[in-house]
Chain A
Amino acid sequence: MNADEWLRAFAAELRQRRVRDDDARHVVAEAATHLRDGGGDPAVVFGLPGRYAAAIAESIGATPPPVPAAPGPVRLHARGITKRYGRRTVLRDAGLTVRAGQIAAIVGANGCGKSTFLRICAGLISPDAGEVTVTGRLGYCPQQGGTADFLLPDEHFVLVGAGGGLARGPARRAGRAAARKLGWDAPGDVLTRHLSGGTRQKLNLTMSTLTEPDVLLLDEPYQGFDRGTYVDFWDQLGRLRDAGRAIVVVTHLLNQLDRVDLVLDLTPAGGTVRDGDAGWGGRA
Chain B
Amino acid sequence: MNRMLTVAEMTLRELLRRRGVLALMLLLPLTFYLIRRDAYVGQSVRSLMLGISWAVSTAALFATSAARELEPRLRLAGYGPRHLYLGRMLGLWAAGLAIALPFFLLVVFDAPNLRYGGVAAGMLCCVAIAPPLGMLIGALLPRELEGTLLLLVIVTVQMLIDPAGTGAKLTPFWSSREITTWAVDHTDGGYLARGSVHGVLVTVGMVLAVAAVFSVRLRRRRHLRHLPVG
* Residues of A in contact with B (beta carbons under 8 Å apart): 120-127, 130-140, 142, 145-151, 155, 158-160, 162-165, 191, 207-208, 210-211, 214
Contact B226 A145 (CB under 8 A): no
Query: Which residues on the A side are within 8 Å of B15 (C-beta)?
Result: 150
Of B161-169, B170-178, B183-191, B217-225, the segment with at least 4 beta carbons within 8 Å of chain A is B217-225
Contact B223 A126 (CB under 8 A): yes
* Residues of B in contact with A (beta carbons under 8 Å apart): 2-3, 6-7, 10, 13-15, 17-18, 66-67, 69-70, 72-74, 76-79, 83, 220-229
Query: Which residues on the B side are within 8 Å of A158 (C-beta)?
Result: 6, 10
Question: How many Å from the CB of B182 to the closest CB on chain A?
Answer: 39
Contact B13 A147 (CB under 8 A): no
Assembly CA distance A160 to B78 (angstroms): 8
Interface-central residue, A125, A142, A149, A163, by most chain B CB under 10 Å: A163
Out of B7, B69, B73, B221, which one reaches A126, CB within 8 Å? B221
Assembly CA distance A132 to B224 (angstroms): 5
Contact B78 A214 (CB under 8 A): no
Query: Which residues on the A side are within 8 Å of B10 (C-beta)?
Result: 148, 151, 155, 158-159
Contact B221 A207 (CB under 8 A): no
Query: Which residues on the B side are within 8 Å of A139 (C-beta)?
Result: 76-77
Contact A123 B13 (CB under 8 A): no
Contact A150 B18 (CB under 8 A): yes
Query: Which residues on the B side are within 8 Å of A164 (C-beta)?
Result: 77-78
Assembly CA distance A142 to B6 (angstroms): 22
Assembly CA distance A145 to B69 (angstroms): 6
Query: Which residues on the A side are within 8 Å of B73 (C-beta)?
Result: 140, 142, 146, 160, 207-208
Contact B229 A214 (CB under 8 A): yes
Out of A127, A136, A159, A165, which one reaches B7, CB within 8 Å? A159
Question: How many Å from the CB of A82 to the closest CB on chain B?
Answer: 11
Assembly CA distance A203 to B222 (angstroms): 30
Contact B66 A120 (CB under 8 A): no
Contact B74 A122 (CB under 8 A): no
Determine the residue in chain B with the shortest Cβ distance to A171: B6
Query: Which residues on the A side are within 8 Å of B13 (C-beta)?
Result: 150-151, 155
Summed over the interface, the residue pairs from A and B with CB atoms below 8 Å come to a total of 100
Question: How many Å from the CB of B85 to the closest CB on chain A?
Answer: 15
A123-B14 in contact given A136-B228, A140-B73, A158-B6 (Cβ < 8 Å): no
Determine the residue in chain B with the shortest Cβ distance to A131: B223
Assembly CA distance A229 to B17 (angstroms): 30
Contact B227 A133 (CB under 8 A): yes
Query: Which residues on the B side are within 8 Å of A150 (C-beta)?
Result: 13-15, 17-18
Query: Which residues on the B side are within 8 Å of A120 (C-beta)?
Result: 223
Assembly CA distance A211 to B74 (angstroms): 11
Query: Which residues on the B side are within 8 Å of A138 (C-beta)?
Result: 76, 226
List 6 tightest A-B contacts by C-beta distance, closest first: A163-B77, A163-B78, A145-B69, A123-B224, A162-B6, A136-B229
Assembly CA distance A121 to B15 (angstroms): 33
Assembly CA distance A131 to B226 (angstroms): 11
10 contacts between A and B (CB under 8 A): A123-B76, A126-B221, A131-B225, A132-B223, A138-B76, A142-B69, A148-B10, A158-B10, A163-B79, A211-B78
Assembly CA distance A135 to B72 (angstroms): 19
Question: How many Å from the CB of A162 to the closest CB on chain B?
Answer: 4
Determine the residue in chain A with the shortest Cβ distance to B71: A146
Query: Which residues on the A side are within 8 Å of B66 (C-beta)?
Result: 148-149
Contact B76 A148 (CB under 8 A): no
Question: How many Å from the CB of A157 to the closest CB on chain B?
Answer: 11
Question: How many Å from the CB of A130 to the closest CB on chain B?
Answer: 6
Assembly CA distance A83 to B76 (angstroms): 22
Taking A135-B228, A140-B73, A162-B6 as given, write out 9 further A-B residue pairs in contact, using a Cβ cutoff of 8 Å, ordered by the A residue number. A123-B76, A124-B72, A126-B223, A148-B66, A160-B77, A163-B78, A164-B78, A211-B77, A211-B78
Contact B77 A135 (CB under 8 A): no
Assembly CA distance A137 to B78 (angstroms): 9
Contact B3 A163 (CB under 8 A): yes
Query: Which residues on the B side are within 8 Å of A149 (C-beta)?
Result: 14, 66
Out of B2, B228, B229, which one reaches A162, CB within 8 Å? B2
